[in-house]
Amino acid sequence: MKNKMTDNADVERVSREIHILKIVQHPHIVQLYEILETERSLFLIMEYASNGELFDHIVRQTLVEER
């Protein structure tokens, strides 16, 4: 919810991530398709990643080996 982003640093991080996702096109990075914004919420419509988020994988594995 937008109202939970009260800290300017939070707003800047979200804005930066949206900007980067708009310009990056790579087979290993989830694609951002569309942004929908209402008075209270911000929705990012993104490509589906069937195996979940990389962060969650790293937390489960505690170590990710480089191939």
What confidence tens digit (pLDDT) does each residue in 2-45 have? 566 667 888 888 899 999 999 999 988 899 999 999 988 889 99
How many distinct structural domains can be found in the chain?
A: 1
CA angle 53, 60, 51 (to 5 degrees): 35
Is there a domain that residue 14 lies in? yes
Q: Is residue 51 part of a domain?
A: yes
Which tokens is 1 given?
């919810």
- Asked whether residue 67 is domain-assigned, the answer is no
66 domain-assigned: no
Chain-centroid distance of CA 46 in Å reads 8
**At residue 19, what are phi and psi to the nearest 5 degrees?**
-60, -45
Question: What's CA 26's distance to the chain center, in Å?
Answer: 14
Whether 12 maps to a domain, the answer reads yes
Query: Can you give the residue range of the structural domain that contains 14?
Result: 2-61
Is the pTM here over 0.75, yes or no? no
pLDDT, residue 35, reads 94
How far apart (Å, rounded) are the C-alpha atoms in residues 14 and 8? 10
Q: Could you tell me if residue 32 is inside a domain?
A: yes
